[in-house]
Amino acid sequence: GEDVEQSLFLSVREGDSSVINCTYTDSSSTYLYWYKQEPGAGLQLLTYIFSNMDMKQDQRLTVLLNKKDKHLSLRIADTQTGDSAIYFCAESGSSNTGKLIFGQGTTLQVKP
């Protein structure tokens, strides 16, 4: 079946790097996504990676994909208090219908 798992909570100091991890089960997923949700807001698409890539970098964000272990990570460099939010990992799954399989979300707390 399709399942996505994330740790629930991460706390870091401002200026440090944050690494949020995710494991997924469906190896046929075409794309893997990271979304950010701030309190009271919708989901903001942060970045996504195609399944045949190992790494993608976009300014302070680095996504690493280990297809063998079905492990995805999001690294945020120089974490700021504005990065405090819930981060959802999602996979596109095998149905190819646009339905995303979400993880439970990781709450990132950034301490000044």
List contacts with another protein (CB under 8 A): 29-31, 33, 35, 40-45, 48, 86, 88, 92-93, 95-100, 102-105
| 25 vs 31, beta carbon nearer another protein | 31
Length of the chain: 112
| 86 vs 110, beta carbon nearer another protein | 86
Tokens coding 83: 């990065």
The whole-angstrom separation of Cα 70 and Cα 65 is: 8
CB of 8 vs another protein, minimal distance in Å: 9
| 6 vs 79, beta carbon nearer another protein | 6
CB of 21 vs another protein, minimal distance in Å: 16
The whole-angstrom separation of Cα 28 and Cα 54 is: 15
| 18 vs 106, beta carbon nearer another protein | 106
Side chain identity, residue 10? L
Q: How many other C-beta atoms can be found within 10 angstroms of the C-beta atom of residue 54? A: 10
Of 107, 112, 109, 110, the residue nearest 7 (C-alpha): 107
CB of 105 vs another protein, minimal distance in Å: 6
Tokens coding 41: 């807001």
CB of 104 vs another protein, minimal distance in Å: 6
